[in-house]
Amino acid sequence: MKQNIHPDYHEINVVMTDGSTYKTFSTWGKEGDTMTLEVDPKSHPAWTGGTKKIADKGRVAQFNKRFGSFKLAK
């Protein structure tokens, strides 16, 4: 393996959207830097089950929205 081509792997602090913090290792920033997250599993609708549904953007959802009230006459 080649020497001196890998980025520096060091410990950083991560601040979640609710203010909680934890330490992790990363190649981002410098030793001891703080990364402040804007979106994380505590605030993103994909994890929290928020009001916006991911399925509302799909092709099936668009079809049902357009033709959902269409009834076949017998």
pLDDT tens digits, residue range 13-47?
999 999 999 999 999 999 999 999 988 888 877 77
What are φ and ψ of residue 50, in 5° steps? -65, -175
Sheet holding 10-15, edge to edge: 21-26, 10-15, 34-36
Whether the pTM exceeds 0.75: the reply is: no
- pLDDT, position 74: 66
Q: Is residue 72 part of a domain?
A: no
- pLDDT, position 19: 93
Q: Is residue 61 part of a domain?
A: no
Looking at the 3D structure of the chain, how many domains does it have? 1
Q: Is residue 73 part of a domain?
A: no
Q: Is residue 45 part of a domain?
A: no
Q: Is residue 9 part of a domain?
A: yes
Domain region containing 20: 1-40
Contact call for residues 23 and 12 (beta carbons, < 8 A):
yes
pLDDT beyond 60 at 71: yes
Whole-angstrom distance, CA of residue 74 vs CA of residue 61: 26
Q: Is residue 58 part of a domain?
A: no
Q: Is residue 65 part of a domain?
A: no
